[in-house]
Chain A
Amino acid sequence: MTTAAYTVEELMACVVSRELRDGELGFIGLGTGGRAFVMAVGIPTVAIRLAQLRGVDFIAQYGVKLEPLIEEAPACFTDADLLDWRCRAMIPVEDALDMFRRGMMDWGFVSGAQIDPYGNLNSVCIGEQKHPKVRLVGAIAQTDHCAHARHTMIILPHDRRAFVERVDFISGLGFGDGPGYRERFQHRGGGPGKVVTTLAVLGFNEKTRRMQVESLHPGVTRGEVERNTGFALAFPDPIPTTPTPTDEEVQLIRTRIDPKGLFLQAKVR
């Protein structure tokens, strides 16, 4: 057994960071805990900081808090610590969320319990909404991210429970039932941009609007992705390998951006 030079979370953060451009604005909810926190908060946070350290002027908005100093992130996300976390602006939450509706947000970073081939997301329930098999937390701001952000960056653990043919409830609209669906509602947001998972990077076919593989992470096979996906995926031929993090990126993450593992290991309290 050899020691991996990077973790899959570090790889995912590097992938996300390469999509971020100068002058863009991205919204991160302060989310929940554990694995969901790593996906929805940790990976985007490290990605944004990596991009900034490369000289990309990307503005991060954490709910009501704009441009907090990421290296000063508190080890505990209680009110007092979050209030003390230095940042450039704190605005009322309704104003923060209106920035979505005005179409100002370039990237919404989202996750969910289920996703379908058209990038529709579910965080409401498994089974029928009126009598669910599993009741989940609810739509939260996922609906807003998915309706209004110029693109959404969907970050998920890759398994068959999450990647399903049809989500049980659309709480975050992707491309609906396919071409033309979003357009009928005249949404300002463009819908799903990328899906970055623990196995692969995926995008969406411009004509069919279906999810398709763009690259597999190093060491991951096509069969492994197929076994962990509950719907048919198109693969490019040949299949590219996701670029690995550079030594410099790994160093920056471990020594400067996330030395305590708050973000990529969810060590935040």
Chain B
Amino acid sequence: MTLRDAVAQIKDGDTVAVGGHTLRRHPMAIIHEIIRQGRRNLKLMGWNSGIDMDMLIGAGCVASVETSYIGISAFGLALNFRRAAEGGSLKVIEHSETTGIDMFRATAMGMSFFPTKTPLGSDLMQANEHLAEVICPFTGERYAAVKAARPDVAILHAHTADQYGNVQLDLQRWHDNSVDAILAKAARTVLVTVEQIVSDEEVLRNALLTVLPRTFVTAVIEAPYGAHPTACDHRYDYDLEEVGKYYEASKSGDAFKGYLEERVLGPADHWAYLDAIGLERLMALTRQRVVR
């Protein structure tokens, strides 16, 4: 399946769970394609978000966000997010990191809610319609129930997969991205880009590395550097030059339109995007080339 066909499965108004966290392994190739296809009114869900959500917001694709954080790491606040929230055009459903994970955990476990004490007494209880108070029937203790999230689509970027859709992560991986597998298990449709489609033999030999068996996966698409400009664990670093360029452009709506034109709408597809970034830069970011 091509990236274009995969993203065509996302409809206007869908709830979309986005993998990755902060500046790490967001499914940027999928996000670029969503923008190219001009999706509107998406309801984004995540647990610790960044340039992924900010870019979709800046491109006018988003009606609401549900997460615990949207920022551009060391650069500062996410400015498209900031403008949309301050302008009142974006609904923000507030989470803590854990309740942002719990909403996916509940669904992945086949439950309708997840109990936690975390948000009790904080204003998250008012600013998140998916939190409600419950009493433990055994101890009488007060809890918050986090409503199970059932996103229409989950979008992720991973290291490898076989042709059947068994998705693998290298052993050397940053453990914050363990949530990717949980949010995939919560979604109806799961679209995964990978650095490389590998042989059956490779997966058979390293079954422990499979984090998402194919039964959870709708489509895998090969998209090398598909997380750029975010980092991809031990494979490549985040591209601070590109994130800096993005951050500067995001300071005004007009400048950001120019950025989108240059980096997303102009290039016809992911390969044209990689051409625009250039092989030299991509090689400089690369830490580990893996041939399997």
Contacts and interface: CB of A to CB of B under 8 A. Distances in A.
B178 interface: yes
A262 to B, nearest CB: 12
B118 A143 contact: yes
Nearest to B49: A138
Interface string B1-42: 000000000000000000000001100000000000000000
A63 B97 CA distance: 11
A173 B122 contact: yes
B219 interface: no
Contacts of A82: 174
A101 B143 CA distance: 12
Contact of B120 (A33, A100, A172, A185): A185
A34 interface: yes
Contacts of A141: 68, 96-98
B117 A34 contact: no
Contacts of B58: none
A88 interface: no
Contacts of B127: 124, 129, 169
B52 interface: no
Given A33-B76, A37-B74, A137-B71, A79 B85 contact: no
Contacts of B74: 32-34, 37, 269
Interface string B68-81: 11110111111001
Nearest to B119: A143
A161 to B, nearest CB: 15
Nearest to B144: A185
Contact of B97 (A32, A90, A131, A144): A144
B214 interface: no
Contacts of B174: 64, 79, 82-83
B178 A94 contact: yes
Given A83-B174, A171-B124, A185-B121, A97 B92 contact: no
B233 A137 contact: no
A186 B117 contact: yes
Interface residues of A, number: 58
Contacts of B141: 186
Interface stretch (B187-195, B201-209, B234-242): B234-242
A176 B121 CA distance: 7
B73 A97 contact: no
A202 interface: no
Contacts of A124: 94, 123, 127
A78 interface: yes
Contacts of A185: 117, 120-121, 142
B287 A80 contact: yes
Contacts of B92: 129, 135
Nearest to A143: B96
Interface string A135-169: 11111111110111000000000000000000001
A217 interface: no
A101 B117 contact: yes
A143 B82 contact: no
A144 B85 contact: no
Contact of A64 (B95, B118, B176, B182): B176
B219 to A, nearest CB: 25
A188 B231 contact: no
Interface in A115-137: 124-125, 129-137
Interface in A28-45: 32-34, 37
B251 to A, nearest CB: 15
Contacts of B73: 32-33
B97 A97 contact: yes
6 contacts: A32-B71, A83-B174, A92-B178, A93-B179, A100-B98, A139-B94
Given A78-B231, A144-B96, 7 more contacts: A33-B76, A64-B174, A80-B234, A80-B236, A101-B118, A143-B98, A147-B118
